[in-house]
Amino acid sequence: MAHKIINNEQFEFWNKGIGQKWVDEDQSMNERLSILTEELFLKSNIKKDDKVLDIGCGGGQTSFEASKLVGSNGYVVGADISKILLELAERKYSQIKNLEFKYCDVQNYEFKKNEFNKIISRFGVMFFENPFAAFKNIYNSLKYKGFLNFVCWTNVMENEFFTAATNIIIRHLNKDFPAITRSPGPLAFSDEKYINEILLYSGFKNINVEKVYSLITTNDSPEKDGELLLSIGLGGRLLAEENLSDEKLLLIKDEIINMCIERQKDGKISYNACLNYVSASK
């Protein structure tokens, strides 16, 4: 029986909505998330011969990094609900023999039981339609004494990459800051208690949620950084819902670029970030 995508809203969003923007900005986002990614890999402790599942792998950068660590006798499966992001991953990494990409909804995909001894995710687990069912499924694919490691965002107000441009945009739109809920989205796992509840329900043990303050940085120009902030994230979603005049858009864009200029020091633009690094075992 063919695998059925059940998270239809996120399928639409990542294939027909913002997905193409993430394809276009894949390299830029990997650069911005590099510090956070390095920390995830330090905590994941991936070794030679490991069998790794990378959830929400997107354009494949994290899956590729894992493939370099597991060696020729290990393997990595990068899974994502976005066809267009997986097509990008295939274009970049199709020659890597110990790496494969799987188009699927991890919430209900029938992985082999006890297949992986390491499961990782960089901001890919917050989009499930039913996270309790999803993590139960993830748990079943993990070997006994295997490890789960993922990183997700904490309180939005501690993450300037979300707030800096959004605050400018909502002021121009005369709107309140978007409500943060547990609905599928980048900030759905900002509550530590909610993460623990999901993982305990799913059967995981030795659950640890570590709050880490870090930075998102880029060597891009303020103009390039401003363009990215206008196209993705909370601000990008708000603008996509509006029908603004070119004049109004230019006014918002200029103010965001000026904000980026103010943040630039020695050629680098920085944003404070706050993450939950989550680990658990079977």
Q: Bridge-partner residues for 116, per DSSP?
A: 142
Domain membership of residue 122 (yes or no) is yes
pLDDT single digits (tens) 228-280: 999 888 888 888 888 888 899 999 999 999 999 999 999 999 999 999 999 99
Residue 225 lies in a domain: no
Q: Exposure of 34 by Cβ count < 10 A (0-12 exposed, 13-18 middle, 19+ buried)?
A: middle
Terminus-to-terminus CA distance in the chain, angstroms?
Answer: 29
CB atoms within 10 A of CB 89: 24
217: tokens are: 């940085």
Q: In the prediction, which pLDDT does 237 show?
A: 81
User: CATH number of the domain that 134 lies in?
Assistant: 3.40.50.150
Cβ within 8 Å of residue 87, ≥6 positions away: none
Q: Tell me which of 7-11, 101-105, 210-214, 245-249 is least confident.
A: 7-11
| pLDDT of residue 114 exceeding 90 | yes
Span 147-179, pLDDT tens digits = 999 999 999 999 999 999 999 999 999 999 988
Residue 51 phi, psi dihedral angles, 5° rounding: -110, 115
Per-residue pLDDT at 63 exceeds 70: yes
Range of the domain at 12: 8-157+181-216+274-281
The residue assigned the tokens 């303020």 is 222
CB contact at 8 A, 158 and 130: no
Q: What Cα–Cα distance (Å) separates residue 281 from each residue in 126, 149, 168? A: 19, 9, 42
- Rounded mean pLDDT, 69-86: 96
> Quick check: is 26 in a domain?
yes
pLDDT for 216 equals: 97
Q: How many CB atoms lie within 10 A of CB 8?
A: 11
pLDDT at 190 over 60: yes
What's the mean pLDDT in 112-133?
Answer: 96
User: What is the distance between the alpha carbons of residues 6 and 81, in angstroms, rounded to a whole number?
Assistant: 10
Within-domain flag for 46: yes
Q: What is the mean pLDDT of residues 9-18?
A: 76
Label residue 12 by pLDDT band (50, 70, 90).
confident
Residue 138 C-alpha from the chain's centroid: 17
Considering the entire predicted model, what is its pTM?
Answer: 0.94
pLDDT at 5: 74
Predicted local confidence at residue 251, as pLDDT: 95
Which whole number is the average pLDDT over 51-59?
97
What total number of domains does the chain contain?
1
Which residues are within 8 A (CB) of 171 and not within 5 positions of it... i.e. 6 or more apart? none
- What number is the average pLDDT over the span 57-71? 97
44 to each of 65, 68, 123, how far by Cα in Å?
12, 14, 14
The pLDDT of residue 9 is 76
Mean pLDDT, the chain, whole residue set: 94
Q: Averaged over 60-84, what is the pLDDT?
A: 97
d(CA 136, CA 259): 43
Would you state the pLDDT for residue 203? 98
- Burial (Cβ within 10 Å: 0-12, 13-18, ≥19) of residue 118: buried
Q: Does the residue 172 lie in any domain?
A: no
Within a domain: residue 235? no
185 belongs to a structural domain: yes
Residue 138 has pLDDT above 60, yes or no: yes
Whether the pLDDT of residue 2 is over 70: the answer is no
The helix (run of H) or strand (run of E) holding residue 167 is: helix 160-173
Output the pLDDT for position 267: 95
- Closest by CA position to 65, among listed 39, 84, 102, 32: 39
Label the pairing between strands 99-103 and 75-80: parallel
134 pLDDT higher than 90: yes
Do strands 268-281 and 264-265 pair parallel, antiparallel, or not at all (unpaired)?
A: antiparallel
Query: What does the pLDDT read at residue 1?
Result: 47
Residue 252, in any domain of the structure: no
